[in-house]
Amino acid sequence: MSMLNAEGISFSAGRETINLRARTSQYGGLLERESLFRVDRNSETRFTQIVLANETNVRDLQRAEPHEKIRDAIPRLAREPLAASAKKAALAHDEDVIDMIRHLANAPDEAALLRQFAVVVSRLGANTTFFCLTEKGTDGAHQSYRVLSASGVDLVQKYAEKRWYATDPFMTHSAHSQQPFFSSDVGSIKYLDGSRREMADFMRSFGASSWIAIPAHGPETRFFGVLYVAMPELPQDGGEEPLRKNRLLFKLIAGEIFDWYDRGERASSWSSSGLTRLELDILYLSAQGESAAMIAQSLGLSANAVTRRHFKSINAKLQASSITESVRLAGARNLLPIASARKVAYVLHSPVYGIYLGSDHSVPFWSGIMPSGMDEAVVFADIESAEAALSDLKLPHGHDVKLVRVDIHQAAQTATINDCLRAGLPAWDPLAQTSGGPADDSATPGKLDEVPAKYYH
């Protein structure tokens, strides 16, 4: 996340350690309160609340803080985040709620995500709203919680202090289900006992009487998310009616926020692994049971290249003794879904110059005319951005360039040669030295009828 860490403070009390941090970016300031609770000698639970820095949230966070040292430090640590929030860059705002939800996926950092989240749920009339991203350990137990508080900062603080997440019926349901869960599904409060009764009583005293919890899950991931939305009226007084009415919109919000975090987690895992996209493809195909020969055929490689070069490189990067072990380790690090997860993008293709690879100092490079070592093509997220780039290229009059859809890795910013091949485009040799581009959609270099402008390479 493109956030700058400012200063922080730590405090330990018994089995708990509290870390309070201030973070700023051009999109605003955040306060991050992290609680590390030592469950036993070998395990701990992490609960982190992310709070958008404004006067109300800072006041509520300070009021709910149980530890005096942390409570006294909040005003000092909040100065920079409050100043950053006052000077924050503008975000896109739409009249249409669906468009507002769509912007969640494009948030440049966590401050922007939380700001957009708060705007959307406010538009839907929610009284108390927060999103919890939960990570499961290798034994299936929940080991960390990251809470994005759009409102109800002091409620979330009490939730963390009492460790209600361990017995929360909404959390328990969401860990194993895709279906929304309402407060009326829990049953009458008079039949609850222990921490569940304590939690329900506090929520009502806080003004959060009717609830909906929306689970969000991804394929083959150790994370799941829960969007909590509350209204002040009791279920029998109609408090659940607006929650049920907007449940599909809440489901969209939960999915967009979860996907935002999931993409970040996968990108981080991929980056730290050092694996190339081709190596990810090879790992994924290996996990599907394909032999080296089958992988070679699928990816247009030789079997020797797969076994002697790529398997060896993959094993070294993952510190494995065999490709079988590498597949297992890649699965544990959530790398395999990256290879299977795809997104739609667009590339520019010219029957004369080939595929547009990018520009350097306003000089465009094409796959069919001296690609200069480039083995990936620039992609565009939508037709509008591609057309804008095309107009900047100032191609000769009448030159026909088409926009071609390609499927690329979810975390990728460019299209590989294999991505282009799968889209029916010609392959290219990154080291080729040609004086002309492909005359058609084949990969065979042809001759131009006239010499292209000197700024084309």
Q: Cα 356 to chain center, whole Å?
A: 28
Same domain, 199 and 54: yes
Give the residue ranges of the chain where pLDDT is below 50.
Answer: 1-5, 435-457
Same domain, 365 and 289: no
Same domain, 325 and 369: no
Same domain, 305 and 425: no
Contact by Cβ (8 Å): 250, 244: no
Q: How far apart are CA 168 and CA 257, in angstroms?
A: 21
Contact by Cβ (8 Å): 132, 35: no
Same domain, 410 and 444: yes
Q: What is the pLDDT of residue 176?
A: 87
Tokens of 455: 């700024």
Same domain, 209 and 350: no
- Domain end, chosen from 304, 324, 339, is at 339
Q: What is the pLDDT of residue 3?
A: 40
Same domain, 150 and 17: yes
Residue found by looking up tokens 């996340």 in the block: 1
Q: What is the pLDDT of residue 64?
A: 92
Write the CATH number for 308: 1.10.10.10
Same domain, 219 and 152: yes
Q: What is the pLDDT of residue 2?
A: 34
Write the CATH number for 226: 3.30.450.80
- Domain end, chosen from 269, 295, 319, is at 269
Q: What is the pLDDT of residue 220?
A: 61
Q: What is the pLDDT of residue 212?
A: 94
Range of the domain at 387: 342-457
Q: What is the pLDDT of residue 114?
A: 93
Same domain, 333 and 353: no
Contact by Cβ (8 Å): 8, 77: yes
Helical segments of 364-450, H only: 383-393, 417-422
Which residues lie closer than 8 Å to 288 by C-beta, 6 or more apart? none
Same domain, 175 and 101: yes
- For the residues of 40-69, what is the DSSP string, one character each? ETTEEEEEEEEEE-SHHHHHHHHHH---HH
Same domain, 261 and 290: no
Mean pLDDT of the chain, nearest integer: 84
Domain total in the chain:
3
Contact by Cβ (8 Å): 100, 119: yes
Same domain, 281 and 420: no
pLDDT tens column, 168-186: 988 988 988 889 999 988 8
Tokens of 333: 């690090």
**Sheet hosting strand 43-52, strand order edge to edge:** 4-13, 16-25, 28-40, 43-52, 142-149, 128-136, 223-231, 210-217, 181-182
pLDDT tens column, 360-391: 877 888 998 878 888 899 999 877 788 888 88
Write b or e for each residue in 169-187: b if 16 or more Cβ atoms lie within 10 A of its Cβ, otherwise e. bbbebbeeeeebbbbebbe
Q: What is the pLDDT of residue 207?
A: 86
Angle (CA) 136 140 141, round 5°: 70
- Domain end, chosen from 339, 373, 394, is at 339
- Helices 323-332 and 277-287, interaxial angle, to 10°? 100
Contact by Cβ (8 Å): 142, 135: yes
